Amino acid sequence: MRDLKEKLMSAVFFASALVSIFAVGLICFFLLRNGLPAIGKIGLFRFLLGKEWSPSDVPPAFGIFPMILGSLYVTAGAILIGVPVGVLSAIYLARVCPKKFYRFIKPGVELLAGIPSVVYGFFGMVVIVPITGNSILSACVLLGIMILPTIVAIAESAIRAVPESYYEGALALGAGHYRSVFFVTLPAAKSGIFAAIILGIGRAIGETMAVIMVAGNQARMPVSLLKGVRTLTANIVIEMGYAADFHRETLIATGVVLFLFVLVTNLSFSALKRGGKL
């Protein structure tokens, strides 16, 4: 009877894992089946490197290079802002923060993760846009705030997972508290910290609603941090409502490019981890 229960539970776990794999496979199949024909008709290089996106013109132009650059700039800016703040916050929570403050700060950080994107967007429109305008910089600052809870939570867990003997050993050798944390504990936790950064990148590059509300959304080559930009996700959401036929196929093809970005980022992290560099 006990063996039967264990086999049954193993089957349940296996089926649960298959559901996740099936969902990913289904998404890949949908994107590739509907997106690749459009890329084939336009031409891969014209689609990826074309600088003009004007589906309603005659003849129409379907170049997504401005949106690719927009997504990369906005994501890079968010990482530059969010990663230092997030990692330092995680260090503070894991190694410095007194318990009486921790019980207030930690729920506050967790609350950030539960705020809907549209609320972040309203915050950006009211607080950030009056200062920096509808621009790349506004989107970077807002996304930098939005990825904080992801980075803080995972990086803090990684730092706490480092055996206490590492820290105590550094102290025993004469290192101070902060030297022990930065030169012993942090290197030991680098794999988890990089995982936090990768998830932060995924959150930033996939965010749509908040970016639409602050980024300006002009489908043109980005020329300045203080000028508007349109990202790949914004391009899909803004035009999918009225797109039809080939225009709709090109938007799904844009989703294929976005999916490949996330896939390459995750695979790169996995490769580095397997190679022992993280």
Cis ω before 163 (30° cut-off from 0): no
**180-237 pLDDT, tens digit each:** 989 999 999 988 888 888 888 888 888 888 888 888 888 888 888 888 888 888 888 8
Query: Model pTM?
Result: 0.85
Sign of CA dihedral 203, 209, 214, 215: positive
**230-270 pLDDT, tens digit each:** 888 888 888 888 888 888 889 999 999 988 888 888 888 77
Q: Report the phi/psi class of residue 43: left, alpha or beta, with left for phi > 0 and alpha for psi in -120 to 50.
A: left
Which residues sit opposite 53 in a β-bridge? Answer: 62
Centre a 10 Å sphere on the Cβ of residue 15 and count the other Cβ atoms it contains. 10
Q: In this structure, which amino acid lies at residue 180?
A: S
Centre a 10 Å sphere on the Cβ of residue 171 and count the other Cβ atoms it contains. 14
Give the pLDDT score at 275: 63
Q: Per DSSP, which regions of 163-272 are E strands?
A: none
